[in-house]
């Protein structure tokens, strides 16, 4: 009986294998290009010799401030991700627990804003931040703080809806019980709601960090000097002609860029698993 079932579903394993190979090919190419000899391009996926020449370019070439790019990315992405999650958490809790005038209109407005591509707002954002730069140069265009402030606008959309849906699954009876015991609204939020929402906060934090780390459009628009580049903007120079299209160093930098995501994922892994399954058994 088991053999018959295997004979019927063999094509599923074939499709899964093809999809797996198709998904892993870019990863294999990046690893091969990163550890291959200098000058290796797309002509060879797996190099015959594994060396560290491409990594040395990143750390020894005076024209490539890779460590500054790395530091800038960590500062900008970590700060923006924490602030995004904080803003989204407060907004989602307010939408979930409080009833106020304009609540439904605000929720619909947030949903409608997500329908428009980010590119439509780039010109308006740039003009706005340029005028801010004329008055406050430290937080306008060309500054990391200005870029962080622009990133915070993304906290009021998808993240707010995601967290609101999770807050809705937390029984309101907990709030009422805490109120009976004399807890204030702030104490209820910090000591009861937030601990229960930790898994979902970890998921939102990871997604926000990955999205910010991969952002190129806004970062390239606001960071206009080489020493202020983030990794996405700096590494793009390797394949845009500034460094004569060096795919090897670009691939090496891409691998190193993945390290913060891997570390953060390992740190939040327990909470992420709980967050992804949260709500599936709640009734």
Do residues 132 and 146 make contact, with C-beta atoms less than 8 angstroms apart?
yes
Band of residue 283 on the pLDDT scale cut at 50, 70, 90: very low
Diameter over CA atoms, the chain? 77
Integer Cα distance of 196 and 34 in angstroms = 42
Is 1.10.3720.10 the CATH number for 53-277? yes
Q: Are 33 and 247 in contact (CB under 8 A)?
A: yes
Q: How many of the other CB atoms lie within 10 Å of CB of 118?
A: 13
Token duo for residue 33 = 């290009």
pLDDT confidence bin for 117, thresholds 50/70/90: confident
Where along the chain do its domains lie? Answer: 1-51, 53-277
Which tens digit of pLDDT belongs to each residue from 172-217?
Answer: 888 888 888 888 888 888 888 888 888 888 888 998 999 999 999 8
pLDDT tens column, 86-101:
999 998 888 888 888 8
The CA-based dihedral angle spanning residues 274, 279, 282, 283, taken in that order and rounded to the nearest 10 degrees: 180
Average pLDDT, the chain: 83
Mean pLDDT confidence for 52-58: 89
Secondary structure tally for the chain: helices H, strands E: 14, 0
Q: Higher-confidence residue: 13 or 258?
A: 258
């Amino acid at each position: 009986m088991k053999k018959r079932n295997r004979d019927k579903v063999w094509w599923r394993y074939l499709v899964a294998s093809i999809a797996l190979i198709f998904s892993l090919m870019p990863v294999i190419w990046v690893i091969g290009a990163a550890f291959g000899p200098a000058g290796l391009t797309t002509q060879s996926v797996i190099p015959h010799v594994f060396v560290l020449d491409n990594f040395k370019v990143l750390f020894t070439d005076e024209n490539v401030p890779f460590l500054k790019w790395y530091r800038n990315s960590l500062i900008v992405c970590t700060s923006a991700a924490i602030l995004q999650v904080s803003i989204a958490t407060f907004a989602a809790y307010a939408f979930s627990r409080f009833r106020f005038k304009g609540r439904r209109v605000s929720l619909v407005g947030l949903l409608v804003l997500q329908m428009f591509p980010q590119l439509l707002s780039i010109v308006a954002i740039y003009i706005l931040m340029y005028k801010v730069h004329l008055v406050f140069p430290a937080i306008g265009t060309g500054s990391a703080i200005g870029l962080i402030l622009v990133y915070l606008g993304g906290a009021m959309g998808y993240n707010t809806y995601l967290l609101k849906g999770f807050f809705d699954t937390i029984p309101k009876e907990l709030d009422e019980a805490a109120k009976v015991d004399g807890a204030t609204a702030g104490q209820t939020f910090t000591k009861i709601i937030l601990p229960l929402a930790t898994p979902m906060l970890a998921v939102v934090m990871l997604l926000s960090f990955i999205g910010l780390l991969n952002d190129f459009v806004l970062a390239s628009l606001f960071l206009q000097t080489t020493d202020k580049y983030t990794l996405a903007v700096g590494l793009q120079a390797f394949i845009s002609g500034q460094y004569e299209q060096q795919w090897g160093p670009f691939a090496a930098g891409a691998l190193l860029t993945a390290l913060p995501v891997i570390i953060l994922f390992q740190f939040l892994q327990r909470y992420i698993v709980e967050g992804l399954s949260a709500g599936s058994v709640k009734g």
